[in-house]
Structure 1
């Protein structure tokens, strides 16, 4: 039985989750994500627990449990003027940080240095931080793909899946890799099959497909061209459960102070509020679902 069928749909239904990553990064992202959730423009969001505005985001989530909010497991800190480090204060996680005490700025550096036991400790503590702030996380995913081994092949999927199984969280992992989507390279195809089998063995529900458009502003890109690309991407959805990831924000002085892509973040805030895009979803017969649907399935399987 396919994942769609287990969720109560037909095998040829195209089911879509729209997730806002990087919730908690800054106040401008928090207000944008909260607006999109309350408007029903997105399915869910995930909080970067080590970041300075995570507490605000987590408290809002705790006060609004009707919206799906998960944990954006974070092990990299990519901005020059705004950095963060581990939440762990009850054990050694020194392999995860630079000499300054912050996370490494890129996944490759993280992969080269990180020790599995340190990764697992920090995974647990990021989820525990969310719980202590009153959240009931609906799912988990990963900032910058640092845990997937995309750069060196050294991944931490066993640790992630163990933790997600323990906390009852489905995880952003595509069973089928669409190289053409631009999210994952060709070498991920075989690894995805093996890791999907591991997820199944551990009882963690995962996706069929993971989709996204470039996170950076492309040469000559305008909002209209971005919208056209998004409509084409939506039309290309395959039967099954897909997740599409965005990083929406209000464009403010705060965002401009540290972010290299404020214009694209503003576009991503507008895109699923756009009447044309919403009409395209309806005309394509795409059914929007929620991560809590997958979480309930994981609990039923257990």
Structure 2
């Protein structure tokens, strides 16, 4: 995959349990919840159709939409017609494909630091970190949220395309503040390793408390898998990750697509995206999740859990 991911969410809250000495002293295991989340809705027609299939025929419980992309309007119409489902905004500050590019939603003259020499959004996260002014970024992300609302998308959360919005402390703080202002949960993971993430981890620790005080949830774990293109191997890799899920709330990020000419013309990840669609509509995978006692939830449900927890603490 062409993407050079700046993933700021890989190490997560570890859970430990005291040894069980006697059967009668055994405590019920803490519940395992999972949000199965499809990124990149609105990116292309193929991605839209595959994401919809995953939500309707599979166990994809949530999706987020790339508002600046050419096929946003199609998916926004679907979201408006299906408000019972779960949709977020995939806040986008970069445009990573070679021949399939997009610019900002905001007027270009209002967000000059977001633009490359071809007047598109920057190609990669490193360039975003280097060039983007946080005020311009905020204007653009507000424009993306407001455009989605204008098209009638029932929003449940905010997250970030390729981690660009969480790549600097100032961008991270702005992202959290947007979530609080709009009262929308943001994709945020507990206990980042300070040795690996430095100032981002330190800033994240501060902002986690702010989110929780505002009744916005924080994930215990985030799982992403980019590797194996072979379907059966990919399926087994996902099943292994699912079996190893820890207590708490985990999000599994997937990217749905159909391996057709349109998607092949955009990205060489089309077969992997097709694999993700197939895995999470596969009856055997759906049965495995159920048999393991893992509850698939949405961001709306996760938000309600956080609000209830806050109310109980007060």
TM superposition score category, shorter chain reference? 0.7 to 0.9
- Whole-Å Cα distance in 1 between the matches of residues 299 and 111 of structure 2? 30
**Residue 199 of structure 1: how far off its partner (Å):** 2.5
In 2, are the aligned partners of 1:24 and 1:56 still within 8 Å (CA)?
Answer: yes
Name the structure 1 match of 2:164: 146
2:240 to 213, 232, 244: 232
**CA RMSD, Structure 1 to Structure 2 (Å):** 2.3
| 1:282 partner SS | helix
Name the structure 1 match of 2:212: 200
Aligned positions of 1:3-82 closer than 5 A: 12-82=30-100
2:183 to 151, 168, 180: 168
**How many pairs align?**
282
**Residue 92 of structure 1: how far off its partner (Å):** 1.7
Q: Is 2:265 the partner of 1:257?
A: yes
- Whole-Å Cα distance in 1 between the matches of residues 294 and 286 of structure 2? 10
In 2, are the aligned partners of 1:111 and 1:154 still within 8 Å (CA)?
Answer: no
Q: Is 2:253 the partner of 1:245?
A: yes
In 1, are the aligned partners of 2:190 and 2:220 still within 8 Å (CA)?
Answer: yes
Structure number with larger C-alpha Rg: 2
TM-score relative to the length of structure 1: 0.86
Structure 1 spans left out of the alignment, 5+ residues: 1-9
Q: Which runs of 4 or more aligned residues in structure 1 lie more than 6 Å from their structure 2 counterparts after TM superposition? A: none
Name the structure 2 match of 1:94: 112
1:156 to 159, 167, 171: 171
- Whole-Å Cα distance in 2 between the matches of residues 185 and 50 of structure 1? 31
CA, structure 1 residues 292+11, in 2 after alignment: closer, same or farther (shift >3 Å)?
A: farther
In 1, are the aligned partners of 2:212 and 2:306 still within 8 Å (CA)?
Answer: no
Q: Is 2:106 the partner of 1:120?
A: no
In 2, are the aligned partners of 1:50 and 1:85 still within 8 Å (CA)?
Answer: yes
Name the structure 1 match of 2:284: 276
- Whole-Å Cα distance in 1 between the matches of residues 122 and 56 of structure 2? 34
In 1, are the aligned partners of 2:180 and 2:214 still within 8 Å (CA)?
Answer: yes
In 2, are the aligned partners of 1:93 and 1:121 still within 8 Å (CA)?
Answer: yes
- Whole-Å Cα distance in 2 between the matches of residues 11 and 166 of structure 1? 36
- Whole-Å Cα distance in 2 between the matches of residues 90 and 74 of structure 1? 15
Deviations 1:97-129 (CA, angstroms, capped at 9, x unpaired): 112211111001001111111111111110000
